[in-house]
Amino acid sequence: MEFGTGARDEAFRAEARAWLAEHLPAGAGRREWERELGAAGWIGLGWSEDGYGNRTASLTQQVAWAEEYARADAPARSGHIGEKLLAPTLIAHGTPEQKARFLPPVARGEELWCQGYSEPGAGSDLAGVRTAAVREGDTYRVTGQKSWTSLAHEADWCFVLARTRPGSVRHHGLSFLLVPMDQPGRVEVRPIRQLTGTSEFNEVFFDGAEARAEHLVGAEGDGWRVAMSLLGFERGVSTLAQQIGFARELGTVIRAAVATGAADDPVVRDRLVDQWAQLRAMRWNALRTLGSSDAEAPGAPSVAKLLWGRWHQRLGELAMEVRGAGAAVGPADWSPEEPYPIDELQHLFLFGRADTIYGGSDEIQRTIIAERVLGLPKEPRG
């Protein structure tokens, strides 16, 4: 087994965990960890500009850092939305004042961000956004609801795609706004409890009478171009790091299959090998398109999302199959006052049900490939 499942990698992870235990205070959360990374300059390696407290690195160096971070089983990041999505967008479209205001706190790990795109009636179809913003002097009053907003309960700021031109339709009349989350009674966050018992996703409500945004990125009405630019930053380096985690999960499933005797079944063995081969293919595809532009690799993000989303779901299903009846039993007694306990493989299966929905559903990804890559007739839209 390659990239992340061998004895050498286990020893490396044990050493990394020991370092974390020594250097992070007991009970430290993800925000403290972001500040630790920021203090050492490890946030913002991929930015095209430095001078904000960040180091800069070549694409190869960024891949090495991301893969070693994942291989060390380091804490989950809560600042990646600000670092990987907002910051490159501000560098490309923001004013000097906006860069000076927002990039240093991201680089220091002091301000966390969430992404206000999806809505109850406009999930993967961002052109259907109905959240509205009305300009009043130098500010906007924001009215609407965002859904499936990752880490909104921890975020200090939210970048919001809102309709600023009344009566506009589809991708016209949208603007890209920066909204502070600390507006009590004006911005409300409601966690969405998932199958896993946890609540990483949230609903966010903006009260149009009071919720304010003072920062517009790009021109008013040019939000679609800014938003599409942001989505282009989601390619490559993070995908390769994600695959390190996938390989570790696959190794756990293989060990479970051996422990339960399921690995003696030739059909199960074939499925395990198939998962491994597909993961290798995803890695080579990510390396092939790494750093390429939309013109050089059209539809590459959509292809990658289709590949890993369904692959990860199949791995979760296989994890439950090799566990047998024991897969339905939790590792500890259930209490109605606490989230019900589940183990690593149960979490893999339950959370994986969302893999083909969040980040752009499979249906939307296929439509993008059909229209923008294959040149097929566009799907009728209202």
Tell me the per-residue pLDDT of 350-376, one tens digit each, with 9 for 90 and over.
999 888 887 778 888 888 888 888 888
- In contact, 112 and 84? CB cutoff 8 Å: no
Q: What are phi and psi of 232, to 5 degrees?
A: -70, -15
Residue 138 vs residues 78, 141, 212, 214, 323: alpha-carbon distances, Å = 30, 10, 10, 6, 59
| Whole-number Å distance between alpha carbons of 194 and 210 | 30
CA angle 228, 230, 233 (to 5 degrees): 115
Question: How, if at all, do strands 174-180 and 113-116 pair?
Answer: unpaired
With the C-alpha atoms ordered 144, 196, 7, 274, is the resulting torsion angle positive or negative? Answer: negative
pLDDT of res. 301 = 80
Beta-bridge mates of residue 146: 204
In whole numbers, what is the pLDDT of the chain averaged over residues? 83
| Whole-number Å distance between alpha carbons of 366 and 375 | 12
pLDDT tier at 1 (50, 70, 90 boundaries)? very low
Annotated active-site residue 234? The verdict is yes
Placement of tokens 């050089």 in the chain: 296
- In contact, 187 and 205? CB cutoff 8 Å: yes
- In contact, 143 and 207? CB cutoff 8 Å: yes
| Whole-number Å distance between alpha carbons of 265 and 270 | 9
In a 13 Å sphere around the CA of 283, the CA atoms on its Cβ side amount to 18
Digit-coded pLDDT (tens) for 177-198:
999 988 877 888 898 888 888 8
- pLDDT at residue 26 greater than cutoff 60: no
Catalytic member of 10, 68, 210, 234: 234
Q: Which helix (H) or strand (E) holds 89?
A: helix 87-93
Chain mean position to CA 7: 29
| Whole-number Å distance between alpha carbons of 216 and 175 | 7
Digit-coded pLDDT (tens) for 285-318:
888 877 666 666 777 888 888 899 999 999 999 9
Digit-coded pLDDT (tens) for 99-140:
999 999 999 999 999 988 888 876 666 677 888 888 888 888
Amino acid at 270: D
Closest CA to 42 of 15, 69, 13: 69
| Whole-number Å distance between alpha carbons of 327 and 256 | 11
